[in-house]
Amino acid sequence: DGDCGDTLDAGAQAISAAIQGAEAAAALAHAGSALRLLGESAQSMGGSSGALYNIGLTAASAAAVRHTSEAPDSPEACMWAAALQAGVDSIMATGGAKPGFRTMVDALVPAVQALAGALDQGKSGGAALASAVDAAHAGAEATKSMRANAGRSAYVPEANQKGVPDPGAVAVAEWLRAIQDALSTPP
């Protein structure tokens, strides 16, 4: 939809800069503060995506802190599932998009459902993340046949949308894949 790549590039650069140094290392040691740092970085992305990522990551940060304090013995993957759910809920409440609107939500919702479902089935955190990544990619792919009802794509002529996945949904699937790759690569 024109500016999605530029917006995401700006966000990636802001995140890369934010995670440098000793102060960032301390923040990255805990999920809540790491998500807060990412949310603050997302503000410099610009566009509606930047605002929505900021809102989602801020909500995820609060949920991670709350989950850690209320269920300290819960597996870490369950905390991440709760944080992701809170972030997605916040993005949908603020932006107004729902599944089927051809937005980032079409990748986020299946990802969070797959993550939680896999954990409920007793799968490992890595296996649950793999399920979330696959679901996000399937959700992004499904946007090829959707008509945009929200987001920047809603301004793109419908004929130009057909057969092309929503860029925001693709971005979600790709950053989830990047997280999976980073966690599966030895330090």
User: What phi-psi label fits residue 173: left (phi over 0), alpha (psi between -120 and 50 degrees) or beta?
Assistant: alpha
Contacts with 68 (C-beta within 8 Å, 6 or more apart), sequence order: 31, 32, 79
pLDDT at 62: 97
Least confident of 68-72, 135-139, 161-165: 161-165
What is the rounded average pLDDT of the residues 120-137?
A: 96
Contacts with 129 (C-beta within 8 Å, 6 or more apart), sequence order: 77, 115, 176, 179, 180, 183
Smallest Cα–Cα separation from 88: which of 176, 5, 17?
A: 176
pLDDT band at 6 (very low <50, low <70, confident <90, very high): confident
pLDDT at 12: 85
Tell me the C-alpha distance between 27 and 124, whole Å.
25
More confident residue, 147 or 36: 36
pLDDT at 94: 93
Average pLDDT in the chain: 88
pLDDT band at 145 (very low <50, low <70, confident <90, very high): confident
Q: Radius of gyration over alpha carbons of the chain, in Å?
A: 16
Contacts with 146 (C-beta within 8 Å, 6 or more apart), sequence order: 100, 101, 102, 106, 161, 166
